[in-house]
Amino acid sequence: MTNHQLNLPNFEKAEDLLNDLFERVKSQESELAGGETQELKRGASAVYRLKETSITFGHPRSRLIPLTAKGFEAKGMDLNYEVRQLMKQFDFYSMVVSIDLRPQPSVLISKLKCLLDFGPQGKEEPIVHRIIPDSKWQAILKTGVNFNLGLDANLDVGVEVDGSELIKIANYPDYDTSKVYVRAKNEFKTFIVLDGLNYRFGKFNISAHGENNSWCDWQLEEPEIQDKSTIEFNIIFKVPKGWEFIDLIGHAWIEPKIDWLNGELTHIISSLPGYLKNLFGSKDKAANSFAVGIKEEWISQREKQIILPKL
């Protein structure tokens, strides 16, 4: 269906592997303790907490709005000629996809990943126009500042920050090459603000792909996520004029930090069966094999297609 950049895990297989790892570790630690206690020891407790980490999607239609020339004009903005011509061929929408992530205490996350596939596929299909956040925002994300987002007359995304934060961004080494449109709040009047979209996950690396395709994906490396967190991704997409429905398949998952898991299991790894022990020989393979995630489908076959709001 897609040609996306991410290595999509098999969630059912990963769940089975984690369950198997949990039982093996619990058994080994029980033997080391003389088999006299039912309390989970260090290794089994770590695997159990990873198993119990949960991820859920919010419903994409909860923040799905049409983008029209009249809507921009009502905000005092005139779309440029190119965008106006595109709007004669396509209907544009802004959609927020939220991910509710609940890592258990002490679980260390290496990567958070999200993949979205739009449909139906064919000669005419939904096309991703902009993805938010984008890889080019790396310099801003690394500063750890809080910011909001908005659209300009080119349907490009700009960043709004407090004046004090703007100084911090301007002094960051990579800012000059980031090509991100950043303005202080009092200079943000030419934008339509995407209300409620902000990023407060600490400093992390991000890669994002998919513009001009029917799919998009994000990878956040070592985000500072603690307890319950809601992560939001925004997609500006277009569909052929008059479409009433779209399909969407979403995958979201976390990969554990293998150095953390390895450290919790170091006293019994040598006693594990080969098919489990060998996974720890490659961090990437182990992280993907022990991923915790979810697949959600809003498609016609399940009678859950996403109804597009009327323009």
Domain positions in the chain:
11-133+199-307
21 burial (CB, 10 Å; 0-12 / 13-18 / 19+) is buried
Distance CA 142, CA 144 (A): 5
Taking the C-alpha atoms of residue 59 and residue 239, their distance in angstroms, rounded to an integer, is 19
d(CA 28, CA 271): 8
Mean pLDDT of 156-184: 69
**For residue 178, pLDDT beyond 60:** no
Res 1: pLDDT: 46
pLDDT band (50, 70, 90) for residue 21: very high
Task: State the amino acid at position 59 in one-letter form.
Answer: H
Tell me if the bond preceding 120 is cis, omega within 30° of 0: yes
Determine how β-strand 157-161 pairs with β-strand 181-184.
parallel
pLDDT at 232: 86
